[in-house]
Amino acid sequence: MAHSVCPVWFGHFLASPLRRLIQNPEKILAPYISHGMSVLDIGCAMGYFSFPLARMVGEQGKVICIDVQEKMIQSLVKRAKKAGLLERIEPRICPSASLGINDLSGRIDFALAFAVVHEVPDKERLFQEIYNALKENGVALIADPKGIVPYKEWMNTVTTALNSGFIGIEHPPIKKAYAIALRKTAG
């Protein structure tokens, strides 16, 4: 579901432990994640958020990690094995025009799309697929990088998400990023 994607070589920088100084995954995700959840990590790259998510959902939870780039998923799997988290992670390579998650309809508690929405040409389809995958009252956290994404483009992204049926519940403060938490409501 990608238009212009982050190069694989840059994935190593995104997965760097130094990034925690600016964007700490546990701190960002803690308000939304609990043991046993089913979570969708869209544009997971090499697993910067995937591994903290896997630890947070525990042995009874599952993190479905989706990326359009096979090399990102291969690196994620290698790193997940090394971290002892592979049993909690389900890696998926998605086709370029879709997330390929029709089998997850109504089964996801939380979806994360961090620094990926700006790379997707068909945002309406992206948000509809996320909406369909979420359980009623499920939450999606969407964030895009400031400095790369113009504010007007971010606001268009938020409007598209809201037009897909989501309601905005908060704008969590995340350094160097625009962010919104969205809830799927009955409808």
Cβ atoms of residues 79 and 51 within 8 Å: yes
Cβ atoms of residues 142 and 113 within 8 Å: yes
Q: What SS3 class is residue 179?
A: strand
The residues with which 144 forms a beta bridge, in sequence order, are 178
> pTM higher than 0.85, yes or no?
yes
Q: In the structure, what pLDDT confidence band is assigned to residue 18 with cuts at 50, 70 and 90? A: low
Q: 8-184: which CATH architecture? A: 3-Layer(aba) Sandwich (3.40)
Condensed to tens digits (0 to 9), the pLDDT of residues 138-149 reads 999 999 999 999
Cβ atoms of residues 136 and 172 within 8 Å: no
Q: In the structure, what pLDDT confidence band is assigned to residue 103 with cuts at 50, 70 and 90? A: very high
CA distance 161 to 6: 22
What contacts 3, CB < 8 A, 6 or more positions away?
119, 120, 121
Flag whether pLDDT at 1 surpasses 60. no
Flag whether pLDDT at 169 surpasses 50. yes
The mean of the pLDDT values for the chain is: 90
CA distance 91 to 108: 15
**Residue 36 vs residues 109, 126, 130: alpha-carbon distances, Å:** 10, 25, 19
- Residue spans of the domains in the chain: they are 8-184
DSSP state of 149: B
Give the range among 24-28, 74-78, 92-96, 183-187 with minimum mean pLDDT.
Answer: 183-187
Cβ atoms of residues 52 and 25 within 8 Å: yes
